[in-house]
């Protein structure tokens, strides 16, 4: 069946139509039924706008407390073996209505536990990943043959496509924070995942000083030597990268920030999504009117274009936080926009 659509100057146009329309289209209701039947939408008749004045507030400010998560992970350690779950982790799911996975639009964060004597098998995947070690000594990660020690305060990289496994040869549990760009890969859809054919990739190099690792003592020395932060987002900050001007991972930027005691930082608004992980100290982050207090091990989610600032509770103790953001993606596409107040 076809319907004749009469245009003001072009005359009748024949278009295939399925559905209830069987004759000429003579009114708007008939017109809407015609393009609905084709799986189309009129630009003047959208169910939801396609353009808006500034970024929509889809994802919510949120916080996860390490002191609440840790006993749950420890219980999981007793109840969930590594044979049952390849990775024993708890993913932070944003409380946005209808959300079932991401922490923010392009990023996901999780707490992970590897018990003493345990190993996590090798696999590789498209998403980029990094880990911030919270507690435990004696654990290592092997990435493309490099076996790298994992120590509290260290940040370790797992670039997309790299084989990686974990092992804990220490006497106690090892806990860390994972950050990945899995939601971005979901949006773009080039996801590949592959378990290692031999279950574990052999380590060919013991790499205590590896470009895959940013050691806490080195980062603290860089922070101590850094100039004051001109943006006033922090007292001082350094980007964790081995190549200045190039992000640590292709889609993820890492900034370690030192916050001064008793100081409120500048208000920052960015089209980038940001996750803050607390290494030390305590304070409150105000995100678009929501007050999120935090201490060591906590994670704060700041969605794109939400104004935020940090307030430190104590006047005698600084704080150190790791900012994980998707800035490289926004910058590469020309979409990065920031405001400081």
pLDDT at 5: 40
- Distance, in Å, from the CA atom of 1 to the CA atom of 34, rounded to the nearest integer, reads 11
Give me the pLDDT at residue 314, please: 81
pLDDT one-digit tens code per residue, 100-109:
999 999 999 9
Q: b/e for 252-276, b at 16 or more Cβ within 10 A?
A: bbbbbbbbbeebebeebbbbbbbbb
Write down the pLDDT at residue 182.
98
Judged against a pLDDT cut of 60, whether residue 90 lies above it is answered with yes
| pLDDT the model gives residue 160 | 98
The dihedral through the CA atoms of 270, 275, 280, 281 has a sign that is: positive
**27-75 pLDDT, tens per residue?**
999 999 999 999 999 998 888 899 999 999 999 999 999 999 999 999 9
Q: Please, which pLDDT band fits residue 1 given cuts at 50, 70 and 90?
A: very low
Can you list the domains of the chain with their CATH numbers? Answer: 2-37 (no CATH), 62-213 (2.60.120.10), 217-340 (2.60.120.10)
Over 50: is that where the pLDDT of 3 sits?
no
Which conformational region is residue 286 in: left (phi greater than 0), alpha (psi within -120 to 50 degrees), or beta? beta
Q: Mean pLDDT across the stretch 245-268?
A: 96
User: What pTM did the predictor assign?
Assistant: 0.91
pLDDT at position 19 over 70: no
pLDDT above 90: percentage of residues in the chain: 82
The total of other beta-carbon atoms located within 10 Å of residue 3's CB is 21
318 vs 16, residue with greater confidence:
318
Contact 103, 91 (CB under 8 A): yes
CA distance 206 to 170: 17
Laid out side by side, the sheet with 283-287 consists of 290-294, 283-287, 308-312, 268-270, 338-340
Task: Give yes or no for residue 207 having a pLDDT over 90.
Answer: no
Q: What tokens does 116 get?
A: 């003493």
Enumerate residues 6+ apart whose C-beta is below 8 A from 177.
Answer: 109, 110, 111, 112, 131, 132, 134, 277, 297, 299
d(CA 115, CA 75): 11
Three-state SS annotation for the chain: CEEEEEECCCEEEEEECCCCCCCCCCCHHHHHHHHHHCCCCCCCCCCCCCCCCCCCCCCCCEEECHHHHHHHHHHHHHHCCCCCCCCCEEEECCCCCCCCCCCCCCCEEEEEEECCCCEEEEEEECCCEEEEEEECCCEEEEECCEEEEECCCCEEEECCCCCEEEEECCCCCEEEEEEECHHHHHHHCCCCEEECCCCCCCCCEECCCCCCEECHHHHHHHHHHCCCCCCCCCCEEEECCCCCCCCCECCEEEEEEEECCCCECCCEEECCCEEEEEEECCEEEEECCEEEEECCCCEEEECCCCCEEEEECCCCCCEEEEEEECHHHHHHHCCCCEEEC
């Amino acid at each position: 069946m076809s319907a004749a659509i009469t245009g003001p100057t072009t005359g009748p146009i024949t278009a295939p139509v399925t559905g209830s329309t069987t004759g000429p289209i003579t009114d708007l209701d008939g017109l809407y039924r015609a393009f609905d039947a084709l799986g189309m939408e009129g630009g003047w008749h959208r169910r939801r706008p396609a353009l808006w004045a500034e970024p929509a507030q889809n994802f919510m400010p949120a916080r996860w407390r390490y002191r609440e998560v840790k006993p749950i992970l420890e219980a999981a350690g007793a109840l969930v073996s590594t044979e049952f779950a390849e990775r024993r982790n708890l993913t932070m799911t944003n409380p946005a209505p209808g959300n079932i996975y991401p922490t923010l639009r392009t990023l996901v964060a999780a707490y992970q536990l590897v018990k003493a004597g345990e190993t996590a098998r090798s696999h590789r995947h498209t998403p980029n990943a990094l880990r911030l070690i919270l507690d435990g000594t004696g654990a290592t990660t092997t990435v493309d043959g490099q076996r790298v020690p994992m120590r509290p305060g260290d940040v370790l990289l797992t670039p997309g496509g790299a084989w990686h496994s974990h092992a804990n040869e220490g006497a106690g549990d090892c806990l860390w924070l994972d950050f990945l760009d899995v939601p971005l890969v979901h949006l773009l859809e080039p996801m590949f995942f592959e378990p290692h054919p031999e279950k574990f990739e052999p380590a060919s190099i013991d790499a205590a000083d590896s470009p895959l690792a940013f050691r806490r003592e080195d980062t603290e020395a860089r922070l101590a030597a850094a100039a004051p932060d001109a943006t006033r987002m922090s007292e001082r900050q350094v980007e964790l990268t081995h190549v200045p001007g190039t992000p640590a991972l292709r889609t993820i930027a890492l900034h370690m920030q030192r916050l001064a005691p008793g100081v409120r930082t500048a208000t920052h608004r960015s089209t980038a999504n940001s996750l803050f992980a607390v290494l030390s100290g305590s304070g409150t982050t105000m995100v678009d009117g929501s007050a999120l207090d935090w201490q060591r091990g906590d994670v704060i989610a700041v969605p794109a274009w939400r104004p935020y600032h940090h307030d430190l509770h104590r006047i005698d103790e600084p704080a150190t936080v790791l900012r994980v953001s998707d800035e490289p993606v926004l910058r590469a596409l020309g979409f990065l926009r920031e405001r400081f107040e």
